[in-house]
Amino acid sequence: MRLLVAYDGSPFHGFALNDGVRTVAGDLTAAIRRVLGEEVVLTAAGRTDRGVHAWGQVVSFDVPAPDGRGPDLARLQRSVNGLCRPAIVVRAAELVPGDFDARFSAIFRRYRYRVLNREFPDPFLAATTWYVPAPLDLRTLRLACDPLIGEHDFSSFCRRPRPGPGLPDPTLVRRVRSAAWHDLGDGLLQFEITANAFCHQMVRSIVGTHVEIGAGRRSAGSLLGTLRARDRSTAGQLAPPHGLCLWEVGYPDHGTLP
């Protein structure tokens, strides 16, 4: 099965299962198990961090189908939403071929990060935007997007994972398809970036560095040097998690959910 899932990351310690704390996968797994009466193991397209939101997260799992039809999708969606709302909502559900995997079948992920850049904050946007009162130059922010496009080693913008025993360091090379800043009006800015995959804290590190550039504390041209340095200490601050949202995940051969 494949589910398209949206969630407010505020009450969760990230997506992945983690004993002793509340996670998106923990709540979702418990709800699906209760509805189906079966144990399930979820695979997610992206393991979002604590406090990060999602509109287009995709999860997959195997379900028994002795009659060849599988479970009632409408009932499953309705029942899981009843157990998980309002923090988690299944936007769509469908049966997919057995070789589908939410993580490994994906060909791109798209994230959005929102910054509220004006004199006064907004209590109704506080949970989903990073409030930055210092004026940011949108033209400079857009110039700082150009070096990101293409295939690069993003070591300067990622939290380096620990390799397993006897294994080489995991690659931090990623291919960015697009990156752009948009003015949504009334001081609301949105950074959107699409890549084949992302490493840990990559988007938040890029946004934090961009905000320093937009505020005039760095030049737009400095971002290329930061990228080439492959050194996390050369990048800027880490943007807070609550402004980030996993917006969309793309797949090549199994259709698209709404």
Which residues are tagged catalytic?
Answer: 49
Q: Is 33 left (phi over 0), alpha (psi -120 to 50) or beta?
A: alpha
Phi, psi of 50 (to 5 degrees): -55, 130
- Cβ within 8 Å of residue 90, ≥6 positions away: 3, 4, 5, 76, 77, 80, 81, 84
- Locate the DSSP E strands across the chain: 2-7, 43-44, 53-60, 88-94, 108-116, 130-131, 150-153, 173-185, 188-195, 244-250
Q: Which long-range contacts link 164-173 to residues 24+ away (Cβ below 8 Å)?
A: 172/199
Q: Judge whether 132 and 211 are in contact, CB under 8 Å.
A: yes
155 CB contacts (<8 Å, ≥6 apart)?
Answer: 172, 230, 231, 232
